[in-house]
């Protein structure tokens, strides 16, 4: 037989495109359309519906960037359509390839009740089925003219990402605005042919099944009269019935499909637009659930539910009804799908606390999966946090984007830094926006790495990123794939049903230990420095506000600000979303975040100051408050002392000119040499005589690289950026500055390009660290600024702090896995150590860094260089990223063990506060081992007055210690992150003795204790 596959396949494509699909709506009449454009931000529904309209027609332009236009469409169903299904077809000027990334609409009835959302792949609104004929049609559309930021030529700089710079030129032209007959038989034929044509293309040519499908499709096309598609569609479907009824092989892969619309809480649109995206999508999905009995839809991000509840209560009522029926499934249990690399220990915990509590309070549901399909890598501390929140499963897809190494598993145990394991699944379909195309299903089957041991995977199905969700076409395709020869079996299932089946089938999968590093989007650790600094500052201020408010409530009876703290936490958690904190959103998002962080800082500072004034009492003495988890300056952790009663700082500081230029600084613990270029050429640990800086090298060296990645500008830094580097060694000014009676400082000023940098290097009496304050007035583009510290230290690994501990990364590049980690994340410190001596670099606000090692030929010593990433200047999606003044604080800590790194890291992030008052403040709680760090001290969220303490072992060893309460203690219990006691009679009850309890911790273990006050 001659091979005529290409002939039939080409015929199928043309007939579908030009004859059969157009026949889905064979008859139509135009609708009348009127428009009103809101003058500013979106208006309430009632106002939009009531506003006066002016006529607009198909082909007319509308929609300035970020504008809102209210359209009214009206018409009459022709009487001759009686008995037919009638739909309104509303095309706002859509590009079919950009669902979620351009204009969208939400349709309302005249009474203001929502009907459904409109987007490029969902333009229909059901009017009647069947129609009586003569019905009057009146609908209102809230149309958002969101500009296209990520266009066909992606990553081009655009001013459209900021409302003030986007202009007012209309973006769109109205396209189809019709009433039309919907021919369901033709629509079903289209789905039949699409499913079979897509499946056919994935089957082996030598297999009989492919040829069976080819011949069936050919017969169906022969049965279609191209001049009467509607009259012959049923006959064509009959030719396909046999091949569609042939069941799947018993060994066929099983796919659990779940309706989904991964809606970015901000990205190429601002937060306010996400509120509307969620409303459009959920309106669509609740309508689809009513008409499709097998369909199941899932949505994560408690914040998005809260938005609908506040802004679209009618839609929320439909959501609550569908949730109660078990068909609209809250997933993930987090406030947002956050970044997981950069949020602090406590913030990561609160993502689950606030997310799970919302679902429990609103729906009575506790879900057990973490749902993070699009997050840019996963920190090694996350498994313990998931487990302590009462969850046990994790789903993500993003690791499939890694550039170099293919992850070896799709289903596995993920083991965190403390030994906690979480059952984890990566969908082999490699997308969180599955549309049920044959190539996607076939890819999942071929790609699944656990064949022979497991046979289940999951497919989140629906248009996402910008929203939209599942369509009726996807559901129809899934129905045909339920049991079809040559395909995987597809079923609609809830995430929990999938995970339960997958774990039962594969109870002993392989284990992956440590972080799940994404070999892509590494620059998100640096882009948009102000957003990152605002996040870090907010986390620190929240810690202080809770600590001192709890202490003041117990000590002074000051009312605890429950509602205020709850609201602020949710604001901070929202901005940890994986396109906000990573710096990959449009300018609007980051400018708004900067303003929000400033407001949050003011509110939290006021809360802290109110509590500290209540604690300090009356008097004019100066009281020093220490919110760090370690004692310092003679003040215990979580306590306060009169300054005049504190011990004098030990030692003295000196500074003198060096021969040849520069200065020598000395505080009796460190001797620092700064040369004439303003570079640190020596840091000697005077206790050991050990030199910190590698021979012939200079530390605190600012280095500038070109930074133009191949794509994903704000997200990516490509390895080749290192090929070219400029050391910033020219100095404008080098001088000694007044640092007070107990410190010495040198200030260095440099100019480069259009920018300047001022660095202040300070030694403080009694402190074994060199403080480094950097101010950069940054006006570069497509450049990467780093601060380098070449250390005379030999080690094949280093520690980087993460949530509730630290993890180790190699300093070498033996394998492709190690080489791919050329930019990585730390929280407050990185630490390098030879046996008996180490060095830490601590930071108050930066996250990205890189580490390299070289061997010096002259002495065969190893130079280990750590470089803190300071600033970037990508031009997409924000063409003005990071322009302006930035301030950074770091400290170099020679002779440091990992415990010193932990202590100094907290110290640099939690500065002491001075308040006038009368006396000392005893800590509310204390621990007897410095390795045990208090992560949070607060009052219980339920208003009971119990004190909640979260703590963890910080050094990677075992700890036995005593936690002492500074109040009469009636009882103590171990709890989960949601402050719920461990299950079982007496579970987690700790014996109280002398207002304290004994505790034991494994390496990096976190514990939450609930302390009842007598």
Active site residues: 374
Measured CA to CA, the distance from residue 611 to residue 953 in angstroms comes to 28
Measuring CA to CA, how many Å separate 963 from each of 123, 603, 739, 808, 997? 62, 31, 38, 29, 5
Q: Which residues contact 738 (CB under 8 A, 6 or more apart)?
A: 745
Longest dimension (CA), the chain: 102
Sheet bearing 639-642, strands edge to edge: 639-642, 621-626, 913-917
Measured CA to CA, the distance from residue 758 to residue 171 in angstroms comes to 44
Residue where the block lists tokens 């892969």: 253
Nearest Cα residue to 55 out of 30, 29, 76, 32: 32
CB 925 within 8 A of CB 947: yes
* Phi, psi of 860, deg, nearest 5: 60, 20
Q: How many CA within 13 A on the CB side of residue 885? A: 2
Please return the burial class of 160, using the count of CB atoms within 10 Å of its CB with bins 0-12, 13-18 and 19+: buried
Measured CA to CA, the distance from residue 426 to residue 435 in angstroms comes to 17
Q: Are strands 297-299 and 328-330 parallel, antiparallel or unpaired?
A: parallel
Angle at 800 between CA 681 and CA 639, to 5 degrees: 95
CB 676 within 8 A of CB 660: yes
Per residue, the 3-state secondary structure of 380-410, as one string, reads CCHHHHHHHCCCCEEECCHHHHCCCCCCCCC
Sheet bearing 996-1001, strands edge to edge: 925-927, 959-965, 996-1001
Dump the DSSP string for 87-103: EEEE-SS--TT-TTSS-
Count of CB atoms situated within 10 Å of the CB of 984:
8
Interior/surface letters 929-952, b for 16+ CB within 10 angstroms, e for the rest: bbbbbbbbbbbbbeeeebbbbbbb
Measured CA to CA, the distance from residue 66 to residue 166 in angstroms comes to 8
Nearest Cα residue to 84 out of 119, 134, 35: 134
Measured CA to CA, the distance from residue 23 to residue 180 in angstroms comes to 11
């Amino acid at each position: 037989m001659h091979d005529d596959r290409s002939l039939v396949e080409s015929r199928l494509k043309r007939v579908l495109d030009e004859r059969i699909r157009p026949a889905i709506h064979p008859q139509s009449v135009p609708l009348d359309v009127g428009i009103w454009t809101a003058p500013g931000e979106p208006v309430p529904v009632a106002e939009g519906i009531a506003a006066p309209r002016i006529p607009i027609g198909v082909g007319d332009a509308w929609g300035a960037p970020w504008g809102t236009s209210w359209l009214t469409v009206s018409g009459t169903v022709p009487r001759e359509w009686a008995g037919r299904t009638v739909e309104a077809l509303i095309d706002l000027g859509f590009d079919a390839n950009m669902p979620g990334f351009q204009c969208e609409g939400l349709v309302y009835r005249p009474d203001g009740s929502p009907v459904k959302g409109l987007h490029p792949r969902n333009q229909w609104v059901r009017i009647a089925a069947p129609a009586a004929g003569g019905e009057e049609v009146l609908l209102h559309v809230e149309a958002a003219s969101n500009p296209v930021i990520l266009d066909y030529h992606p990553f081009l700089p655009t001013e459209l990402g900021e409302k003030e710079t986007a202009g007012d030129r209309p973006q769109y032209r109205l396209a189809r605005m019709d009433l039309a007959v919907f021919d369901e038989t033709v629509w079903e034929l289209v789905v039949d042919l699409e499913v079979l044509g897509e499946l056919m293309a994935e089957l082996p040519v030598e297999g009989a099944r492919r040829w069976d499908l080819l011949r069936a499709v050919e017969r169906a096309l022969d049965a279609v009269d191209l001049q009467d598609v509607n009259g012959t569609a049923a006959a064509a479907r009959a030719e396909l019935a046999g091949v569609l009824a042939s069941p799947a092989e018993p060994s066929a892969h099983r796919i659990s499909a779940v309706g989904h619309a991964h809606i970015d809480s901000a990205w190429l649109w601002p937060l306010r637009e996400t509120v509307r995206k969620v409303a459009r999508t959920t309106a669509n999905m609740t309508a689809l659930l009513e008409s499709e009995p097998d369909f199941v839809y899932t949505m994560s991000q408690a914040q998005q539910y809260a938005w609908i509840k506040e802004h679209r209560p009618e839609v929320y009522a439909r959501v609550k009804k569908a949730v109660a029926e078990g068909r609209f499934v809250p997933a993930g249990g987090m406030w947002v799908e956050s970044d997981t690399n950069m949020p602090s220990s406590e913030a990561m915990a609160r993502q689950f606390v606030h997310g799970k509590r919302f679902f429990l309070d609103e729906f009575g549901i506790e879900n057990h999966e973490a749902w993070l399909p699009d997050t840019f890598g996963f920190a090694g501390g996350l498994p313990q946090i998931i487990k302590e929140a009462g969850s046990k499963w994790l789903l993500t897809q993003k690791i499939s984007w890694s550039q170099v190494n293919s992850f070896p598993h799709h289903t596995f145990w993920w083991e965190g830094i403390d030994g906690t394991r979480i059952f984890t699944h990566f969908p082999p379909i490699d997308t969180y926006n599955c549309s049920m195309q044959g190539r996607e299903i076939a890819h999942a089957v071929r790609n699944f790495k656990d064949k022979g041991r497991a046979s289940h995977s999951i497919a989140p199905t629906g248009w996402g990123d910008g929203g939209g969700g599942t369509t009726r076409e996807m559901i129809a395709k899934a129905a045909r794939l339920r049991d079809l020869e040559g395909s995987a079996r597809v079923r609609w299932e809830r995430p929990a049903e999938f995970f339960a089946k997958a774990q039962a089938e594969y109870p002993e999968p392989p284990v992956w230990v440590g972080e799940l590093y994404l070999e892509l989007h590494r620059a998100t650790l640096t882009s948009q420095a102000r957003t990152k600094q605002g996040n870090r500052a907010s986390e620190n201020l929240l810690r202080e506000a809770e600590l001192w408010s709890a202490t003041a409530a117990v000590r002074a009876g000051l009312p605890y600000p429950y509602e205020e703290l709850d609201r602020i936490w949710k604001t901070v958690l929202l901005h940890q979303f994986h396109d906000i904190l990573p710096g990959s959103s449009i300018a609007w998002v980051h400018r708004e975040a900067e303003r929000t962080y400033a407001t949050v800082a003011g509110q939290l500072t006021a809360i802290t100051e109110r509590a500290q004034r209540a604690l300090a009492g009356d008097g004019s003495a100066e009281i020093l408050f220490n919110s760090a988890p370690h004692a310092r300056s003679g003040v215990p952790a979580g306590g306060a002392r009169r300054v005049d009663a504190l011990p004098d700082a030990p030692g003295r500081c000196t500074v003198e000119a060096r021969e040849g230029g520069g200065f020598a600084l000395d505080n009796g613990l460190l001797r620092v040499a700064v040369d004439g270029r303003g570079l640190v050429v020596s840091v000697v640990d005077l206790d050991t005589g050990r030199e910190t800086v590698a021979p012939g090298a200079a530390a605190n060296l600012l280095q500038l690289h070109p930074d133009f990645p191949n794509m994903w500008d704000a997200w990516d830094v490509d390895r080749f950026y290192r090929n070219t580097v400029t050391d910033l060694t020219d100095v404008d000014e080098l001088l000694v500055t007044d640092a007070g009676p107990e410190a010495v400082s040198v200030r260095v000023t440099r100019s480069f390009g259009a920018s300047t940098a001022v660095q202040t290097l300070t030694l403080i009496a009694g402190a074994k660290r060199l403080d480094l304050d950097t101010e950069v007035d940054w006006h570069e583009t497509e450049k990467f600024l780093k601060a380098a510290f070449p250390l005379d230290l030999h080690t094949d690994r280093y520690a980087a702090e993460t949530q509730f501990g630290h993890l180790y990364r190699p300093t070498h590049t033996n394998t492709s896995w190690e080489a791919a980690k050329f930019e990585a994340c730390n929280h407050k410190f990185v630490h390098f150590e030879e046996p008996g001596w180490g060095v830490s670099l601590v930071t108050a606000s930066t996250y990205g860094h890189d580490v390299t090692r070289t061997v010096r030929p002259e002495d065969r010593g190893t130079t280990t260089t750590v470089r803190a990433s300071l600033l970037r200047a990508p031009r997409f999606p924000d063409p003005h990223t990071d322009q302006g003044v930035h301030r950074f604080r770091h400290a170099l800590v020679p002779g440091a063990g990992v415990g010193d790194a932990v202590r100094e890291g907290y110290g640099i992030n939690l500065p002491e506060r001075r308040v006038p008052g009368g006396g000392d403040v005893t800590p509310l709680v204390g621990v007897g081992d410095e390795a045990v760090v208090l992560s949070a001290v607060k009052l219980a969220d339920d208003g009971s007055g119990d004190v909640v303490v979260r703590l963890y072992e910080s050094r990677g060893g075992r700890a036995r210690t005593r936690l002492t309460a500074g109040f009469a203690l009636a009882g103590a219990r171990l709890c989960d992150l949601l402050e719920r006691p461990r299950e079982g009679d007496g579970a987690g009850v700790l014996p109280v003795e002398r207002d304290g309890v004994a505790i034991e911790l494994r390496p990096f273990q976190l514990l939450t204790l609930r302390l009842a006050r007598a």
